[in-house]
Structure 1
Amino acid sequence: MEKDILLDEKLIITNLRATEQQDVLKSLFSKLHKEGCVRDSFLENILKREENFPTGLKLGKYNIAIPHTEPQFVNKSALAVTTLEKPVNFRRMDKPEEEVPVDIVIMLALKEKNDHLKVLGKIIQMFQSSQVLESLKKANNSKEIIEIIKSNL
């Protein structure tokens, strides 16, 4: 994990109740915004980017989404994470015409342009393990989620 990227209990939501992708994105944005990590314009841009470049990944039993946008909408680098009570559909990164039911969402707010690919790569690599996905999905609180991510990134 990059040492200057904030991963904080205040940026974690376990078992979020949401029915639509926008609800999930708004909830994570609210956490990031409240902590001063992102600008007001971050939400609008993340929604727009998700329309043009979807971030859902079909991985098997549990699927993920990794929404993110450009650094100019970020004040300080952070990751906001949620596990969903019930899966929410996101369009697929690899097949945008298809949707995938997502269980875990990690929203990237990265200040440095060159961090995006590096962090995205590490997150995707971490999620290749079905054990990590299972652990995150079953985590009961923010502390557990942070421990799982820190020990696997």
Structure 2
Amino acid sequence: MSIQQFINKELIFTKLNFNSQRELFHYLYDKAKQGGFVTDDFLSRLTEREKIFPTGLKLGKNNVAIPHTDAECVTKEFIAIATLNTPVLFRLMDNNAEQADVSLVFMLGLNNPHNQLEVLQELVGMIQDGAKVNQLVQSSSREEMYQALNGAALRK
């Protein structure tokens, strides 16, 4: 399995601007809802889960977040990806007392627990490559990011 099978071009967004995590979540939820990927309660469940189990990862130059929520909120599996012109604060996964400015977000919508574990493992492997993360953050278009992600999946 590869993360590529869950990436849909219509859910790739580059160079977005938000003032808060809340605005970011609303935007990504709206796009996923329009595409028929999520149920109505996805946004509230995502927001609540993030408060309890934060998903920010401090990686140095470009920090990443991997927000996700319960499988029953997902009607069609997906990974939404967004790069941010102005980073948004996320509490850290490994220390929820700390925060990091995040510039790359992978919002997961997976409804199979086995897929979620495999996707998380593959994503963590990919984001440990600082050059790959920088390439994704620097992508100027949906197509450029899709190609960069496709190359990452093919190299595995």
With normalisation by structure 2, the TM-score equals 0.93
Distance 2:56 2:98 in 1: 10
- In the TM superposition, 1:1-153 aligns within 5 A as 1-2=2-3, 4-5=5-6, 7-153=7-153
State the identity %.
35
CA deviation after TM superposition for structure 1 residue 9, in Å: 2.0
**1:111 counterpart letter in structure 2:** N
Gaps of 5+ in 1: none
Q: Which moved more, 1:84-93 or 1:22-31?
A: 22-31
Task: Name the count of aligned residue pairs.
Answer: 152
Distance 2:79 2:45 in 1: 16
Tell me how large the CA RMSD over aligned residues is: 1.1
Task: Say if 1:25 and 1:125 are closer, same or farther in 2 by CA, change over 3 A.
Answer: same
SS in 2 for 1:83: strand
Gaps of 5+ in 2: none
CA deviation after TM superposition for structure 1 residue 3, in Å: 6.4
**1:62 counterpart letter in structure 2:** N
8 Å CA contact retained: 2:11, 2:80? yes
After superposition, give the CA deviation of every residue in 1:39-87 in whole Å (9 maximum; x if it has no partner): 1111010000000000000011000000001110000110101000111
CA deviation after TM superposition for structure 1 residue 2, in Å: 4.8
Moved runs in structure 1, 4+ residues, more than 6 A? none
CA deviation after TM superposition for structure 1 residue 150, in Å: 2.2
With normalisation by structure 1, the TM-score equals 0.95
CA deviation after TM superposition for structure 1 residue 116, in Å: 1.1
Distance 2:25 2:4 in 1: 25
8 Å CA contact retained: 1:11, 1:31? yes
